[in-house]
Chains A and B, each alone.
Chain A
Amino acid sequence: MEDGINSWPFDYVLVANRGEIAVRILKTVKGLGLKGAVVYHAVDAQSVAAQMADVAVEIEGTTPVAAYLDAEQIVAVALSVGAGAIHPGYGFLSENSGFARACVQAGIVFVGPTPEVIDLMGDKVTARAFVSNAGFPVAPSAIEDDDPATFVERARAVGVPLLIKPAAGGGGKGMRVVRDLALLEVEIERARSEGKRYFGDGRLYAERYVENPRHIEVQILGDAHGNVVHLFERECSVQRRFQKIIEETPSPALTPQLRQKICQTAAGIARSAGYQNAGTVEFVYGSGEFYFLEVNTRLQVEHAITEKITGFDLVHEQLRIAAGQPLGYQQSQIKAQGHAIEMRIYAEDPAQGFTPTTGPILKLREPTGDGIRVDSGIAEGLAITANFDPMLAKLIVYGADRNQAMALADKALGDYVLLGSKTNISFLRRVMNHAAFKSGDVHTGFLDANPQIAANPALTKNTLEKLLAAASLATRSMRDEADAVLDIHAAMGAWRN
């Protein structure tokens, strides 16, 4: 897209983030001829982002994470280097309205929505109420506290399947799924008793239960002039511990009609909220129904797959919008083509409950080739530490259709070499080759329901032999011992007289 900008209102953009997203943002910033600055904590001094930025400024904190959460310090850095804009990336301060306000107050452009929209969408209860009031679908529900006397009747009105959960609860404890309204009162009492037992609080909450729910979200862009478009949906149903690990677009679950409906709904929500900049409207989808979940007021981790199918550079769009430019295109001009899949590369051990792993990056060979994109913040010689989220990089593949994309994903994962710390690469490959994933038949509980995918697969005798052979010959103390044997004795072998 033409950006229509001859001179930017800012020529220095400070990236208030680290890792792959800092690298990703800097690439676009520098590509636009702008200067990129980055803040870094001492543990990231050698990071790819710090090396590639025009200016890298060290920030301090009681912990490395605390440094990246220190709004005051970061704004001060921006002022000191003369940065006219701050891109917060995702995580850290990206959805912190206080930070957005502090930027504005310091005369710095915050690349993201207005603080008011962040506040509105930041609170799930107000966001839900806002969306519901604006006439968009939220999951039907009944809250006991609203009027305890009518709770059962209101719950009955929500209909089945119905999920009853303790108002004070969490972690699935005390949750009852009702599929037959005749059992409603019995289940309510059971849930209440479990709630009392677990949380010392018997108050309840009921909402429509979505069987095998899928996570579908829509990318939206809004400018300061009231224009809002969507850039289609992304499906992020493959999750572990409530975190997305594989995302794709288009969603294999949606019909064209439903796709249009869900995307228009998202755009409508954004429009009602007066949304500016890039954002994502998340929905839960199942059995032909979708309900609003929440709005993420920032660039998503998985934005790259949208870029792949639409040809947009979302960071570029963010900067244009932040610079006050109108979108300059209509919804009808935005086309999606092909299929993109993103896989998040984590330093973790899937077989050990996805516990994070650490270690030096001894060898790193990221896959390359047509249709393959790797957004990475790591490099050989650096180390993976426990200081931050264990996501290391994102592998994005793009193919003409889903089958092509999956085949490319399988190959790229196989070619992805990261030695020094355990990663989830092999696990991702197993998911990619799982029949359910291949047929697009997944839901957010898919990995929990199939724990065998996370377990280390049994090795064939042949593989084991090869591994032990390579490891033995690569282990100096073993190889040196074998090599210490004189030629004559090596040639004789285990001869006995």
Chain B
Amino acid sequence: MKRIESRINTSSSDFRANKENYLKVVEEFRGKQDKARYDRPRRDMERLDKQNKMFVRDRIKQLLDTGTPFLEFSSLAANEAYAGEVPGAGCVTGIGIVAGREVVINAGDASVKGGAWYPLTTKKTVRALDIAIENRLPVVHLCDSAGGFLPLQADLFADKYFSGRIFRNQCLLSEMNAQQVAVVLGHCTAGGAYVPALSDYSVIVRGTGAIFLAGPPLVKAATGEDVTVDELGGCDMHTSVSGTADYPASSEEEAIAMARDIVAQFRRQSKTVIEWQEPEDPYYDATELYGIIPPDIKQQFDMHEVIARIVDASRFHEYQPNYGKTLICGYAHIWGFKVGILANNGVLFDDSSLKGAHFIELCNQNKTPLIFLQNITGFMVGRDYERAGITKDGAKMIMAVACSKVPKFTIMCHGSFGAGNYGMSGRAFDSRLLFSWPHSQISVMGAEQAANTLADVKIRQLARQGKELTNTEIAEIREPVLAEFKRKQSAYWATSEIWDDGILDPVDTRNALGMGLSAALNAPIADLGYGIFRM
């Protein structure tokens, strides 16, 4: 395996201009992220203080092993929804290290609307638990929620992937021996009551923690019974009478320390063995990625340069280097783990599709996890290509991706347009983790094409009615479509809707993949089986 020789000239004007542009992109991203994480109305923070409650970030800090990484998911979820009033979708999720074990953390954020569940809160929570299931990771729930946000109940209660899925996922986790501990730091009412109840272990804080199907007002209304929170579902009642919770704690700090001690009792998964060697930092500096990524989404760049700044020692074994060159395939190591990388270096042609499908099969044959680095405008179109079977070759690649059994990881490095998204393991194809770089864009087609397509449809419609549009009228049709498209194809929209697991500063890609790879090995790799490849 030899080192990629970078052709980047870091003193060129292009490099410097790109870098200057990208530093702004990163700054904007970090600004949004900081705001979503820490910017709260003072009233909400004061209420937490008064209730003797810690801010969710401080709770997580106490929970995690000191000096270990935390891979946060979807920090900007719901950022473009609910008028921006539910930052992070009101919860914090991620993979963290507790007592040395990789665990999924699912923490309610009571500084956002009292921790009420919005539709995107449940989506983010379900996704975190899906990640736990796919990777067989234990879960620590830090429960502090006011319950479902009633005005939007129709969007969060009844459907398959709505709030019920949280509890269903908890049950499946327990079934697969991925243990869970719930720390009850606030009220767990109604559905929320099942989070601790369905956890294998639970700790509850005296005074602030409570679990009940209906709180005192609802009980009063339903049965006329007058009862206090403590009597109804407080710490001492549940830990000494009902047995709904296991461990009483006198403070949040103590409860979290107990949870750490409980996680320390979990049996460690024996990890799936894949090829591994001592990790080595990339030869090329990851911050050079800033000077490689062009400001224009339509502008191509050599994905070898990206690979060289993510993989160990920048070393890469390229498969079929001279065939289907618009798709780079090859082996490398990330944090020591052997991976197979598929990276777009142009439009997918029939040959590149076949190469991709073949390489995915190779990686499944030798149990090598897959990394997809997306920069794709789609499969090639046109008569010649259709005649050559571009659609069936594309179908082969999609079939290979969908049925692949090794863990897959996807990074949206630039553009992700059209069916190429599918072939490169887009969201629907169950990558273990999927992250977007902050400038990346995603949509069924490019914004310009979409706007033009829509304008054309309109023009032809009107033409049939004998009307002809002036340029101004065309612009009036085109511009709003373009604007709407641009908004919804941005990484910020995608991440707000939880189409990914969060936005990543490109320099963080290597660590995020390392965390994901290590976590993925907690689950076994199933034996390979495929559907029918159209030949």
Contact = CB atoms under 8 A, between A and B. Distances in A.
A355 interface: no
Contact of B511 (A481, A484, A485, A497): A497
Interface string B238-266: 00000000000000000000000000100
A494 B72 contact: no
A459 interface: no
B389 interface: no
A466 B212 CA distance: 50
B279 A497 contact: no
A491 B279 contact: yes
B394 interface: no
- Determine the interface band of chain B, counting residues with CB < 8 A from chain A: 20 to 34
Interface stretch (B61-69, B189-197, B316-324, B454-462): B61-69
Contacts of B505: 497
Contact of B67 (A483, A484, A494): A494
B514 A492 contact: yes
Interface in A205-241: none
B65 A485 contact: yes
Nearest to B505: A497
B347 interface: no
Nearest to B70: A496
A496 B68 contact: no
Interface in A440-491: 481-486, 488-491
B100 interface: yes
A481 B65 contact: yes
B69 A494 contact: yes
Interface residues of A, number: 16
A430 to B, nearest CB: 36
Contacts of A489: 65, 68-69, 97, 102, 515, 518
A492 B102 CA distance: 14
A341 B366 CA distance: 77
B71 A485 contact: no
A497 B99 contact: no
A497 B336 contact: no
Interface in B32-72: 65-72
A242 interface: no
Interface in B66-118: 66-72, 75, 97, 99-102
A481 B69 contact: no
A394 B483 CA distance: 90
A492 B72 contact: no
Contacts of A495: 69-70, 508, 511
A485 B72 contact: no
Contacts of B335: 488, 491
A493 B69 contact: yes
Q: Which 5 A-B pairs have the closest CB atoms?
A: A484-B100, A495-B69, A492-B69, A485-B100, A497-B508
Given A485-B100, A492-B69, 20 more contacts: A481-B99, A481-B264, A484-B99, A484-B264, A486-B102, A486-B518, A488-B335, A488-B336, A488-B515, A489-B102, A489-B515, A492-B68, A492-B511, A493-B67, A493-B69, A494-B66, A494-B70, A495-B511, A497-B70, A497-B512
Interface of A: 481-486, 488-497
Interface of B: 65-72, 75, 97, 99-102, 264, 279, 335-336, 502, 504-505, 508, 511-512, 514-515, 518
